[in-house]
Amino acid sequence: MPVPSQRYVRNQLLSILGGDDYGAIQAVAESVMLGRRDILIAGKKTITHVYFLEAGIASEIAATPEGRRIEVCITGREGMVGVPLLLDVDRTPHETFVQIEGEALRIDAASFRTLIEERPNLRRTFANYAYVAHLQTAGTALSNGSHTLEERLARWLLMCHDRVDGDEFPVTHEFLSTMLGVRRPGVTTAIHSLEGGGMIKARRSHIQVLDREKLKTAAGDSYGVPEIEYGRLIRTGR
């Protein structure tokens, strides 16, 4: 697939770049489809590419040696996968895989390093995003330790809703239990609670957001800090 002109690019980081900077990215990028469960970054292995998602959602996962897994960050069309390369780090213990299928513009690691070395405006924009991603990870840790499961689930659903077109997206109870680091029955109870409040509708491995404002109320102060900082630092299209 051809790489789109900047006028049609959907990734929000790329859409705000100067024309020359986007042109430099366009010259070395390729457009790729992302299938569900595709591995974008393998834990403890050399990072080969940076991905700027055009559609879909990727999950960054931390794991223990015993195999316990929990999601620490999600990325959609607002950002990029491969932040360690921006920080001159070539690998990470975390794995990043595709949670919701989509597409992305992909740049190999060597070309990406050349771009950010030669173009300070690119590095600055991407560094702003790296800061926001750090806040999201910190917010996840705070939420896991300080908020109820219902609040955490509402936060997670809002974050996904921010990154997809429309109000419905695929997700299973089993997947949510892994992402939130809790047992499946607890996820089921929390989903029923949000559904009973008229905030969401759960059906056939999909969840539909019915009332975003009620969902934000349910999330309380677990949601919003990274989103505010993103709006302050990076012009958003949503």
Rounded CA gap, 179 and 153, in Å? 10
pLDDT one-digit tens code per residue, 193-237: 999 999 999 988 899 999 999 999 999 999 999 999 999 999 654
pLDDT at 71 over 50: yes
Task: State the pLDDT at residue 175.
Answer: 86
Show the beta-strand stretches assigned E in 45-167.
49-63, 69-75, 95-108
Which amino acid, one-letter code, is at 115? L
Question: Which residues pair with residue 98 across a beta bridge?
Answer: 58
Among 131, 55, 63, 134, which residue's Cα sits nearest to residue 96? 63
pLDDT one-digit tens code per residue, 158-178: 999 999 999 999 998 888 988
Which domains, and CATH codes, for the chain?
6-143 (2.60.120.10), 147-223 (1.10.10.10)
pLDDT at 79 over 90: yes
pLDDT one-digit tens code per residue, 108-151: 999 999 999 999 999 999 999 999 999 999 999 999 999 999 99
Among 111, 133, 134, 126, which residue's Cα sits nearest to residue 49? 111
